[in-house]
Amino acid sequence: MARKKSPSRFFEEILEIPRPSGHEDQIAGYLVHFAQLYHLDYEVDDYSNVIIRKKGTHPFISKPIILQAHTDMVCTSEEDYDFANKGIEWVLEDGYYKAKRSSLGADNGAGVAVILSLLSDDSLEHPPIEAVFTTQEETTMNGAKNLNYKHLKGKRLISLDGTEEDKIEVSCAGMASLTVHAPFKRVTSAKSSYQLSISGLLGGHSGVDIDSHRGNAIKILAHILEGIEDIEIVSIDGGSKENVIPSDIKCIFNTSHDFSAEYQFFKQFYSLEYPEIKMDYRRMKQRDRVIENKKSVEILQFLDKIENGVLKRNDVDFPITSSNLGVIKTEQEEVSIALSIRSSLVGYEDFYVSRAERIARRYHLKFQIEDKKPFFTFQEDSPTRQLLVKTYQELYQKNITLEDVHAGLEGGIFAQEMKGLDICVIGVNLYDIHSIHEKVEKASMDRVLEWLKETLKNME
């Protein structure tokens, strides 16, 4: 029988596996190999979701517990990085795992590692376990959407997709994914060419960090350039994912306007607002094929006018509705813009989606709803939550905080598909997820494992 391993050892193995959203075959293969090595039942579906089952120990016979994590990661870097074929270059520094040149993928690789460590230990007492590893959480949530829920018997779920060790996430926001299209035809231009680039911003998760005063590079650039009346865009590209606050953008454009004085003003202004920002403005080799002035202005005005950030708060100042302008890219015959609107209140999401559509149409842009993800609400009666709280307090003499989360979680889909499911979301200490500054505390993985082991041991 294979030996049990710590969460950190499993995490280091996971870091070696390429796993962008939509490309989880390799991590699914790793999980299958794990199940075979430890003689556990498993199944894999067409979406690379993996379910691993472990029989309960005496006296646990029925009432399975579902443990869940997602296997994909947000892939972002300041320079080209072959995420599809290359694992993460990492270091362990001062007790924290960090990536050298990219996002780390501790969201949710650390959660996967904790579950695997638990499954690898035959000395534990626990009810039957249904460990569910889903895919494409960071993009479409197609893994959770297409999971065969009839194969699950559990009525309680602990997800390991949280971001702070001493918090239990008890509700989540839904999210609408939107795309705005700006079709164009190139025209000839004899004006001078320039490039404005913005980088160095903190980025981060568009739900968790939306209230953290992190500059949105796309919004900043649009605010700077939308006042140039004769502007002709050559290309405009920025951001990485709709659910990541964009930290960088580059725009090449033609103009006859001397913009240098205004640039110096904006550079000073935004450097005071965001000390980490890097801005560069320079003359470029002349480009003679551009997007016509009218369409260029419409694109920049839309970017400037579309709402971004927190849109609605509750009575304790917590975000309940927000928008993130996530990605803009220049393709052969159109500029495409990806944004998302999150909300945990019925009706608010639809209201702000309609408003975004009206703004797009005002500037003659095409608007499309790509996807909608459900939310789940706080459950007054949750035996699982009560046991998790009690166990953590007894283990670490520290109180647990119950937290509503302004982020999309797969628990919303599980709740929609499995009526009456008792859902709690816990996690290890993660920092700056979805950014190149992402890190995870090694010791926290061990503490969460102990918390989970003691919780399962005391389940009825």
Query: Helix or strand or coil: residue 157?
Result: strand
1 belongs to a structural domain: no
2 belongs to a structural domain: no
| CA distance linking residue 162 with residue 167, whole number of Å | 8
134 belongs to a structural domain: yes
Q: What is the DSSP letter of 62?
A: S
Whether 199 and 169 map to the same domain: the answer is no
Name the domain boundary from 373, 396, 425: 373
Whether 351 and 385 map to the same domain: the answer is no
115 belongs to a structural domain: yes
User: Which pLDDT score is estimated for 67?
Assistant: 98
Q: How many domains does the chain have?
A: 2
pTM for the full model? 0.74
Pick from 376, 323, 315: which is nearest to 349 by CA? 323
Whether 357 and 236 map to the same domain: the answer is yes
Q: Which helix (H) or strand (E) holds 174?
A: strand 174-183
User: Which pLDDT score is estimated for 150?
Assistant: 96
Looking at residue 331, which CATH number applies to its domain?
A: 3.30.70.360
Looking at residue 11, which CATH number applies to its domain?
A: 3.40.630.10
Whether 101 and 161 map to the same domain: the answer is yes
User: Which pLDDT score is estimated for 304?
Assistant: 97
User: Which pLDDT score is estimated for 207?
Assistant: 87
Whether 287 and 402 map to the same domain: the answer is no
User: Which pLDDT score is estimated for 78?
Assistant: 80
Whether 27 and 161 map to the same domain: the answer is yes
Whether 354 and 271 map to the same domain: the answer is yes
Question: Domain span at residue 22?
Answer: 7-173+375-457
Name the domain boundary from 324, 356, 373: 373
User: Which pLDDT score is estimated for 61?
Assistant: 67
Residues of the chain where predicted confidence (pLDDT) is lower than 70: 1, 61
What are the CA-CA distances from residue 118 to residues 3, 78, 115, 295, 429 (Å)?
12, 35, 5, 56, 18
Name the domain boundary from 338, 356, 373: 373
Whether 299 and 260 map to the same domain: the answer is yes
Whether 149 and 215 map to the same domain: the answer is no
